[in-house]
Structure 1
Amino acid sequence: MNATTFPVLKKYLIAVFTTGLSLGSATVLKAQSAASYVNPFIGASTSADGAGVYHGLGKTFPGAATPYGLVQLSPNTITGGDNGSGYSYEHKSIEGFAFTQMSGIGWYGDLGNFLVMPSTGTLKTSAGKIGTTGLGYRSAYDKSSEKASAGYYSVQLTDNNIKAEATAAPHSGMLRFTFPQNKQSRIQVDLARRVGGTSTLQYVKVVDDHTIEGFMKCTPDGGGWGNGDGKADYTVYFYAQFSKPLKSYGVWSADIPDDWSRKLDDVTSDKYQERLAKAEVLKGLKEKQGKHLGFYTEFATKANEQVLLKSGISFVSIAGAKANLQAEIKDWNFDAVHQHTVDLWNNALSKVSIQGGTAEQKTVFYTALYHTMIDPRIVSDVTGQYMGGDGKLHHTTTFKKRTIFSGWDVFRSQMPLQTIINPSLVNDLVNSLVTLANEKNKDYLERWELLNAYSGCMLGNPAVAVMADAYAKGIRNYNIPDAYKLAVSTVEKFGNGDKGFTPGGGGISYTLEYAYNDWCVAQLAKALNKTQDVKKYGERGEAFKNIFDADKGWFRPKDSTGNWLPWPAEGRIKQWYGCVESNPYQQGWFVPQDVNGMAKLMGGREKVIADLNNLFEKTPDNMMWNDYYNHSNEPVHHVPFLYNRLGAPWLTQKWTREICRRAYKNSVEGLVGNEDVGQMSAWYVLAASGLHPVCPGDTRQEITSPVFNKVTLRLDPKYAKGKSFTIIANNNSAKNIYIQGAKLNGKAYNKCYIDYKDIAAGGTLELSMGAAPNKNWGI
């Protein structure tokens, strides 16, 4: 049968092969879609024991989300501690399903708002502590029943024999609970709950017999991001509907004294939890504002009866939450919402298509790509409204307002990846950061932004690096004069200053990062013909030379008078000596703007290559947190690609393949460190594809050994001339990891790097692979 003769049948067969439909009771074999490879459990653990260090493992969440969506509907197992996602796989009970999450972050987390839990029997008004069940609404669950995929999560809660399922739309989400037969079944919503503490003020109103609306105000007084030190200050608005009518319902309200502190340790204390457990239950109350509220609705259920809840979420207004829900989830068809979300993921993940590799490698790859598509998330409503940094409503039609910019992490791999496959996202981000600074009357760009908060987390000026990289690549649809002015004032406010170095305990990290950021400004200045600034910031970009100790042969911190700080007995592998979250051996390689100058200081090319070899060879096989090549943390992420710059590209090929093999697995412990809001995963996506930059702001992209036989990057016609860029690795295998030769668009190519403009032009880079290094290629 010729399918082209039967267009209707052809269309149906395409649907079968892309979505996995069933024909009657027979399952149709299908070509596996990209979304079907996603395993959201990869990295979904906060365990410090599993990581062997207090930083913990991946800290991702397994719940339902859409690409860069405002809502992430996920199980939460814990409120307290350094558990930023609110979930850790090894925990044995679930306290509820929250509509907002953070992904892969260190530090005490935030969000985890609008926590919904099904229950039966007597109403309990506190979750109860982790490690205990029966004392609160927290429930044990059947680990073997837990399932997660792109846009879907389900689990069997065993305390009350209730199945919970979650799916999400961009600004809304839906939960489906399958209850046992019970005269007193319930859905309850803890409005005060917040991952790193508590919301400090809540409001709820019964609108009609199926609907509630309200808000949860989250301030630094209630802990949250960095236990309040991150300055997160936001309000979450909701408009929620229940499939079963509200007949027996009410509000619980805990009496929290005005003089009680409400940071993380306070709200998780026994005293506070006892107060929550004794909250006043106000049956039939239709409207309430208070310090610690919850809402519940009770009903009788038949065996296996399904009761659903759906809610729009907004960071703007109740009206915005309502508009979001009505635009995205119009009925109660859970399966249709789920399928639409899968379609969204398949479209987003199709930005990169791969051929070859094992099933595990494909799962690791597409899950990594999935994790790069959580943030920076959209924070504007479907109407285009967003809450500005000035606390006022703003409306945008020219860009999508985005939030959660983990700058120090993501400028290295995550944003460079997006410049290729999602340049409009990078443009949105620069717009969001520039307009935010103007709204807040700040004269600088924030390094770690969360819901308009200038948290000041980490170091350096990463927004300047992202901007320089974007501009160099032709991503320029923002107010360029404002952006440049902010870039300059940022490096003036935070930089090495007149001393030419930053003194003190973190002096190596700060001095090297600030020097690179000054170089980034020089690149912007050069593009904008600001000749004086080119000279000024170009010279500042050489500040790395000011902290190199020729006697020790390495970078070394100074005190405020310019004297060296005492050299430790452990030498350059001393953690935190002059460094932030690293040691001098790891941080000292961060001179991406002048690798040749760095190598000259260190004694020349041969000596540097030998030292890099030592760094990698002493790295433990599992690549968990260590004193050598510590892939668990960002300062070394460019290091494997330095070999390309030093004339030994076969060693870049060797070590990137090793890192891909050893540091990324299809398991809960499959990430060796925090996911860090897409950075850890973006490194893998780029390296496994055969490309990665050393220096964002420079359009040179290093070529390395692809994991896959064929990788196609789909380009954006608004920013790129070509439709796609393909990397083919002929004769590729686990043994044939070395590039023997290359062709670019059919012509012999002998460079170990390629310019971004050649990628954006579209075409094909064809590599021939072999088991032994070809030391003549790419030199």
Structure 2
Amino acid sequence: MRKHIFVYLSLLLTACNSEQQTVFPSLSTYVNPFIGATTNTEAAGTYHGLGKTFPGATAPFGMVQVSPNTITGGDNGSGYSDEHTSIEGFAFTQMSGIGWYGDLGNFLVMPTIGKVKTFAGTLDNPEEGYRSRYNKASETASAGYYSVQLTDYNIQVEATALPHSGMLCFTFPESKEAHIQIDLARRVGGTSVLQSIEVIDNQRIRGWMKCTPEGGGWGNGEGKADYTVYFFAEFSRPFNSHGVWSAQIPDYYKRKRENIESKNYQKLIKQAEILPSIKECEGKHIGFYADFETQKDEQIILKSGISFTSLKNAEENLHTEMEGWDFDETYKTCARMWDEQLSKIIVEGGTEDEKTVFYTALYHTLIDPRICSDVNGEYLGADGEIHQTKKFNKRTIFSGWDVFRSQMPLQTIINPTLVNDLINSLVEVGEQSGKEYLERWEILNAFSGCMLGNPAISILCDAYSKGIREYDIEKAYQYALNTSRLFGNNDYGYTPGKTGVSMTLEYAYNDWCMARLAEWLGKKEESQYFDKRAKTYTTIFDTEWGWFRPRDSKGDFMPLPKAGRLEEWYGCMECNLYQQGWFVPHDVKGMIQLLGGREKVLTDLQAMFEKTPKDYLWNAYYNHANEPVHHIPFLFNYLNVPWLTQKWTRDICQNAYHNSVKGLVGNEDVGQMSAWYVLAATGIHPICPGNLRYEITSPVFNRIEIKLDTLTATGKVFVIEAINNSPTNIYIQRAELNGKPHEKCYLTYNDIVKGGKLILTMGPQPTNCFKN
């Protein structure tokens, strides 16, 4: 284990060319990548599992993630779960915090000793294959670094990464049968359907892995992910010999997740033919192995550039970022990148665990939407052609239904250029594909159609309202308009069916976003049209029952289940009516009136939180493990009881987030779960993206300094100070903004980006110092 994990590198971090660099606080030392790194459904109490994050090494918004993988198949989107006792390899691409079976997990590298095996083995019988048990106590991770001891082989593995490249350092025992194996077919949630390998010489290899829906992957193929991963890899010393294995997969074999998990398919992999000394190979399930004779504690490094565009670009990506073989220097560069990004929010006060939870949460928000353009700006477009971007970074993995709520509103403050990149990327995908609309869940140009609503319209509306506008706004608006016409409520103002309440309410909010965009762009008739549609959330309200309720295709309310509004999946997507029914963010006052007025709503909302389990795991009340409820704690501000927003957000921060593997109560969902914490712990959070209002709540920390971006900000920093803050002093007694009394329970985006200071005096008793 490397010393630099315990004694942090000097703050005077320098890049590989030794030029003087800006000094940043060593905030990356607070990052614990193991937070949320489990898919355990038993611990979660639901089939959704827990955080589903990966613990391996990546750079901020990097294309490459070098991470251990413990399982292929099942609903294990990260490819790793902490309770698994063996590792099958270290992949160079991963997804963070997602369900739906997952994808990526490509270019799986594994060091081995002994006879070459072509089969990974299983969790129950790892000795059947090349996987290895590992020493859990040896497993270490920080921002940009991962290390573990493989006990079956007595090999230490260390990983680090830069944006387009990754590096693995293997410390071998003495052996005449040491190998580095690469499973080219491996893919989370399925398999690569075709692979190619070329041995350039005894230190360099290159090739590609083609991943299509026929091989499962995202949504087990339903997500339509279709991509090719190109690699160019080098070894730090020549290998003595090499070979390829190739399994003969019959043409009639189906290759979805359940197929590749079957015993018959696994038998074919076990029986793969080993082809020594072969220079080139293409096949349906192939792998590569390099043979070495090693001395005790001899280190061999493998590094690889990755590209989704071409072999040439994979090589250029590697040589641009990792010309040498200095593992420590590479890690140092990655750590410096993380320190720079994490220093955009500096917190003081709180416990060490709270700082770890905060900076790990911030770290998780800085993984996606990741770069998918190469170092030369080239990327594969949705038309199958290579394009080059010079004005923005092409980005991918847009988990729209999740991230429009907290993740993207956070990035509008600390990374507005990223938001600008994302909109440009979504518009280009819409144009190049010929579809001319904005996808709700995009992965590597695929229109996966995952989840519901039109979240890209929310992202566009929120960005435009905040002055993030370096894209073709007319084209973006037209695609948003097309999106709303393709996906929206019917002429009667609702969406029928078993998830109709979720859809109706989400589409109504998206229509409000369209109304605002049309208004700002001077499209009066369209603005009026969408403003009317934004009110259609009332069409699914059952006045006799007193709550929202799904309608069928004839317009009749669907029969009530025994559990009433607590019935999961009745009218809703992944939730119940009690949770989804509060989602009218664009018209909270109208919603309160519709639901029976302030007193009735306040009683109902308080009951929701009081009946919520203290651990906030999956439940029928305030289910923080899933996104539809994430705005609900801030509704108390609209009910003129802001101390209840303060009470419950502090409680959620304390009891739903922990410095442990099980520290996330639900799927991380590509930054959303963590972004909620970052904003709430900071003391601000939006209810309605597109509206400039951020609700004020009780900060976890005594002082928060947010560095502002010149793209949208006129100020340099915005500071929030919480005087007398403590675990008992959670209630705001009075507030000052830039030296003047502040009587509103919210800030605007403009208040923040102008720079300044919000001072909150805290105390142990609820009080209302705000006037709505």
What TM-score bracket applies, with the shorter chain setting the length? over 0.9
1:583-623 CA-partner distances (Å, limit 9, x unpaired) = 00000000000001000011101111111100000000100
> What is the DSSP-based 3-state SS (H/G/I as helix, E as strand, rest coil) of the residue aligned with 2:506?
helix
> What is the DSSP-based 3-state SS (H/G/I as helix, E as strand, rest coil) of the residue aligned with 1:323?
helix
Select which of 223, 242, 260 maps to 1:230.
Answer: 223
Partner of 2:342: 349
Tell me how far 1:16 sits from its aligned partner. 3.4
Partner of 2:256: 263
State the alpha-carbon separation in 1 of the partners of residues 107 and 8 from structure 2.
Answer: 39
1:45-94 CA-partner distances (Å, limit 9, x unpaired) = 00000101000000000000000000000000001100000000000000
> What is the DSSP-based 3-state SS (H/G/I as helix, E as strand, rest coil) of the residue aligned with 1:713?
strand
Counterpart of 1:664, as a letter, is Y
Alpha-carbon contact 1:690-1:706 (below 8 Å) kept: yes
Counterpart of 2:763, as a letter, is G
Partner of 1:402: 395
Partner of 1:437: 430
1:412 aligned onto 2:405: yes
Alpha-carbon contact 1:654-1:737 (below 8 Å) kept: yes
Partner of 2:664: 671
State the alpha-carbon separation in 1 of the partners of residues 432 and 113 from structure 2.
Answer: 47
Partner of 2:614: 621
Select which of 717, 729, 734 maps to 2:727.
Answer: 734
Counterpart of 2:303, as a letter, is K
Alpha-carbon contact 2:78-2:95 (below 8 Å) kept: yes
State the alpha-carbon separation in 2 of the partners of residues 509 and 443 from structure 1.
Answer: 25
Select which of 325, 328, 353 maps to 1:335.
Answer: 328
Select which of 487, 499, 511 maps to 2:492.
Answer: 499
1:339-393 CA-partner distances (Å, limit 9, x unpaired) = 1110000001001100000000000000000000110000000000000000000
State the alpha-carbon separation in 2 of the partners of residues 201 and 573 from structure 1.
Answer: 46
Counterpart of 1:507, as a letter, is G
State the alpha-carbon separation in 2 of the partners of residues 32 and 466 from structure 1.
Answer: 31
Give the % identical residues.
62
1:3-60 CA-partner distances (Å, limit 9, x unpaired) = xxxxxxxxxx99735669xxxxxxxxx9972100000000000000010100000000
Indicate how the Cα distance of structure 1 residues 77 and 744 shifts in structure 2: closer, same or farther if over 3 A, else same.
same
Tell me how far 1:444 sits from its aligned partner. 1.4
1:528 aligned onto 2:541: no
State the alpha-carbon separation in 2 of the partners of residues 264 and 119 from structure 1.
Answer: 26
Which residues in structure 2 correspond to 1:549-560 (within 5 Å)?
549-560=542-553
Select which of 13, 16, 32 maps to 2:10.
Answer: 16
Partner of 2:127: 134
Partner of 1:212: 205
Partner of 2:70: 77
Select which of 421, 438, 453 maps to 1:460.
Answer: 453
Which residues in structure 2 correspond to 1:125-524 (within 5 Å)?
125-524=118-517
Counterpart of 2:151, as a letter, is T
Tell me how far 1:777 sits from its aligned partner. 2.7
Indicate how the Cα distance of structure 1 residues 626 and 306 shifts in structure 2: closer, same or farther if over 3 A, else same.
same
Tell me how far 1:634 sits from its aligned partner. 0.2
1:691-717 CA-partner distances (Å, limit 9, x unpaired) = 000000101111110000011111111
Alpha-carbon contact 1:128-1:273 (below 8 Å) kept: no
Which moved further from structure 2: 56-65 or 246-255? 246-255
Partner of 1:768: 761
State the alpha-carbon separation in 2 of the partners of residues 524 and 448 from structure 1.
Answer: 21
Counterpart of 1:397, as a letter, is K
Partner of 1:87: 80
State the alpha-carbon separation in 1 of the partners of residues 175 and 624 from structure 2.
Answer: 51
Partner of 1:750: 743
1:753-778 CA-partner distances (Å, limit 9, x unpaired) = 01101111111111111111112434
State the alpha-carbon separation in 2 of the partners of residues 597 and 777 from structure 1.
Answer: 21
Select which of 540, 544, 558 maps to 1:547.
Answer: 540
State the alpha-carbon separation in 2 of the partners of residues 16 and 443 from structure 1.
Answer: 50
Select which of 607, 624, 643 maps to 1:631.
Answer: 624
> What is the DSSP-based 3-state SS (H/G/I as helix, E as strand, rest coil) of the residue aligned with 1:569?
coil
1:210-268 CA-partner distances (Å, limit 9, x unpaired) = 10001000000111001101000000000000112133001111111111111111111
Alpha-carbon contact 1:649-1:778 (below 8 Å) kept: no
Alpha-carbon contact 1:92-1:131 (below 8 Å) kept: no
Alpha-carbon contact 1:18-1:32 (below 8 Å) kept: no
Counterpart of 1:96, as a letter, is G
1:573 aligned onto 2:569: no
Which residues in structure 2 correspond to 1:597-616 (within 5 Å)?
597-616=590-609
State the alpha-carbon separation in 1 of the partners of residues 253 and 8 from structure 2.
Answer: 61
Tell me how far 1:132 sits from its aligned partner. 1.2
Counterpart of 2:309, as a letter, is V
Alpha-carbon contact 2:31-2:359 (below 8 Å) kept: yes
Select which of 114, 127, 137 maps to 1:121.
Answer: 114
Indicate how the Cα distance of structure 1 residues 32 and 438 shifts in structure 2: closer, same or farther if over 3 A, else same.
closer
Alpha-carbon contact 2:24-2:340 (below 8 Å) kept: no
> What is the DSSP-based 3-state SS (H/G/I as helix, E as strand, rest coil) of the residue aligned with 2:761?
strand
State the alpha-carbon separation in 2 of the partners of residues 713 and 279 from structure 1.
Answer: 55
State the alpha-carbon separation in 1 of the partners of residues 583 and 729 from structure 2.
Answer: 30
Compute the RMSD of aligned alpha carbons. Answer: 1.4
1:694 aligned onto 2:687: yes
Counterpart of 1:89, as a letter, is D
> What is the DSSP-based 3-state SS (H/G/I as helix, E as strand, rest coil) of the residue aligned with 1:155?
strand
1:564 aligned onto 2:557: yes
State the alpha-carbon separation in 1 of the partners of residues 81 and 163 from structure 2.
Answer: 24
1:640-692 CA-partner distances (Å, limit 9, x unpaired) = 00111221111111110010001000000000000000000000000000000
State the alpha-carbon separation in 1 of the partners of residues 12 and 314 from structure 2.
Answer: 32
State the alpha-carbon separation in 1 of the partners of residues 239 and 282 from structure 2.
Answer: 20
Tell me how far 1:269 sits from its aligned partner. 1.2
Counterpart of 1:653, as a letter, is Q
Partner of 1:684: 677
Tell me how far 1:299 sits from its aligned partner. 1.1
State the alpha-carbon separation in 2 of the partners of residues 406 and 552 from structure 1.
Answer: 34
Which moved further from structure 2: 456-465 or 601-610? 601-610
Select which of 591, 598, 602 maps to 2:584.
Answer: 591
Counterpart of 1:382, as a letter, is V
State the alpha-carbon separation in 1 of the partners of residues 392 and 222 from structure 2.
Answer: 30
Alpha-carbon contact 2:392-2:421 (below 8 Å) kept: yes
Alpha-carbon contact 1:93-1:131 (below 8 Å) kept: no
> What is the DSSP-based 3-state SS (H/G/I as helix, E as strand, rest coil) of the residue aligned with 1:16?
coil
State the alpha-carbon separation in 2 of the partners of residues 582 and 340 from structure 1.
Answer: 43
Partner of 1:23: none
Q: Which runs of 5+ in 1 are unaligned?
A: 1-12, 21-29
1:133-181 CA-partner distances (Å, limit 9, x unpaired) = 2110010001111011100001000111111110001000000001110
Partner of 1:6: none
Tell me how far 1:105 sits from its aligned partner. 0.2
Counterpart of 1:16, as a letter, is S
Counterpart of 2:10, as a letter, is V
State the alpha-carbon separation in 1 of the partners of residues 554 and 512 from structure 2.
Answer: 25
